[in-house]
Chain A
Amino acid sequence: MSTRSKELIVLGAITLFALIFYLGKVWGRGTFEFPTWLSAVVIAFIGLSLLWVLILTLKGQLIERRVVFIYVAFAVALPLFMSFSQKITISPEVYQLHEALMELPAGSKVLISFDYDPPSAPELQPMAESIIRVCFENDLKIIVMGLWPQGPQQANLALEKVFEDSTIRAKNLQYGRDYVNLGFQTGNEFVIQRMGSSFESMFSSDYEGTPYKEIPLVRNVRNFSNVDFSVNLSAGFPGTVEWVQIAVDRYGLLMGAGNTAVQAPVMYAYLNAGQLEGLLGGMSGAAEFEAVAEYRAKGTKFMLSQSFAHVVVIAFIIIGNVAFFRSGRKSKLKGN
């Protein structure tokens, strides 16, 4: 059988598999969840197979790179079916952000800037949902904005998710009075600069087109001095760096941040210098915030996949090094 035929068979099998499960979903089939014993079997199987790969490597049989991809795919996908969650240890910077929000008196205004787009949603959306939830639970008012075009849409998705909870719905929160979405404004860091003197100059109307002066929540919000706290959810430029440099250091705004993991190491310098009032770094930051807020959601659920994937990556780093030393390439590199 030719390679092309095999590829077409695999493609057909994937399509058939997808059709069966999709129709099952449409016809109301429930979700799948591994019982604990099956989860244990899966973990043991993956562990033993990794050991087998290590033994093969020691024998001099190297595996193909696609095998590594398959392992990572399984390590990420299978934990999503598992029923147990891992223990989350909460970092001081996550506590700090939670405490900063909890200490705000009821009715305080919190500015949340959504400076990210869908590609970063797996890390930042769980943070957004739990932060909004904590704000609403403590009767804080939320002003949402975005320096990225799709940020305000992400905010709306997060708000929708939070409002699915009956306890939040029972508070009868009203748009314009308890929360508002000012939308996206182009101009990057210059938007922050101008907001220092006038919010209205940058957001003449909200996301729905209501004029700024007609929105009860922000009618008296002139600039940063009328905001009690802010949270920046950032995936790059413009983001936390610009907010710290302009809003925090120049205008004295109190700010906590949630960042993608790529950015987080840079932000620790701002945290240690007292420029940030707490920091959530990547998916682990999201899971930790969910733990401290006692709200287990996707951040916590995804951490199991994250941990499995890390274990597999570490295993393959070891296997790769074994292959490297066994192949004698080290001595060749040294010129022996």
Chain B
Amino acid sequence: MEHFALWLSAFLTLGILSFLYKDNPWYKLSEAIFVGISAGFWFVTLFWDNLVGKFWDGWQDEPMLFVGASLGFLMLLRLVPRIGWISRWPLAFIVGATSGLWLMNYLASNIMVQVRATILPLFSTSYASGYDAGWGAIISSLVIVVGTFTGLVYFFFSKEHKGAFGGAARVGIFFIMITFGASFGYTVMSRMSLLIGRMDFLLGDWLGMIG
């Protein structure tokens, strides 16, 4: 069984990689198996964990689960065109509840805390200390301040980007481009890691050529 599993994994891995040569039936088969298994896996997981594990096993202790289950059922009414409009109610509930929850989370963690972290003393390590920051810390703080300010200027569209304002916006776009570049570099690293993982499987686990 172990041998079969290894060969099947290798067959599917090579099938997916074969797309680099050209689109072919081997790739299509591997892709279809992957999509089908993923869909099946999620269906089974959500059925047993959500419907059975949470609702069916828990409604005696938490009758409120019926509210959620009812909303879920109403969502399925989209499939009946004559009364499909009812599905807008649970949708409205989901949009409202999710917006409210996420607004608070993002306001607190991604706005307030980040703004606080950007308001820096330029020449000190903290507001309580004297002028104790080294050159590295000063430059780092300046980069954060200038980057934040010019980045915000770039996204301010109520005034034409001309003169000093336009210059600041141009500096802002440099910061934004550097950010995109760093992000792209990390993405390349991540995708290479996936390839390395597959190579490690093919050459190590499957063929036993590397330790």
Binding site for B on A (CB under 8 A): 14, 18, 21-22, 24-26, 29, 31-33, 66, 69, 72-73, 76-77, 80-81, 119, 121-123, 149, 184-187, 189, 242, 244-246, 248-250, 260-262, 264-265, 269-270, 272-275, 281-284, 298, 302, 305-306, 309-310, 313
Q: Quick check: B195 and A309 within 8 Å, CB to CB?
A: yes
A272 to B3, CA, bound (A): 48
Q: Quick check: B186 and A264 within 8 Å, CB to CB?
A: yes
A77 to B200, CA, bound (A): 8
Q: Quick check: B108 and A249 within 8 Å, CB to CB?
A: yes
Q: Quick check: A281 and B106 within 8 Å, CB to CB?
A: no
CB 8 Å contact bits of B104-119 with A (1 = contact, 0 = none) = 0110111001101100
Residues in B neighbouring A302, C-beta threshold 8 A:
193, 196, 200
Q: Interface segment, B77-85, B162-170, B203-211?
A: B203-211
Residues in A neighbouring B10, C-beta threshold 8 A:
18
Q: Quick check: A186 and B117 within 8 Å, CB to CB?
A: no
Cβ of B135 under 8 Å from chain A: no
A76 to B17, CA, bound (A): 14
Residues in A neighbouring B46, C-beta threshold 8 A:
186
Q: A246-B105, A310-B192 known; A265 and B208 CB under 8 Å? A: no
Identify which of B53, B106, B209, B211 contacts A186 (C-beta below 8 A): B53
Residues in B neighbouring A245, C-beta threshold 8 A:
105-106, 108-110
Q: Quick check: A249 and B113 within 8 Å, CB to CB?
A: yes
Q: A245-B108, A265-B179, A269-B114 known; A76 and B192 CB under 8 Å? A: yes
15 cross-chain CB contacts under 8 A: A22-B207, A25-B209, A33-B210, A76-B195, A149-B45, A184-B49, A186-B45, A187-B54, A189-B105, A249-B105, A264-B186, A306-B189, A306-B192, A309-B195, A309-B196
A29 to B182, CA, bound (A): 43
A269 to B182, CA, bound (A): 14
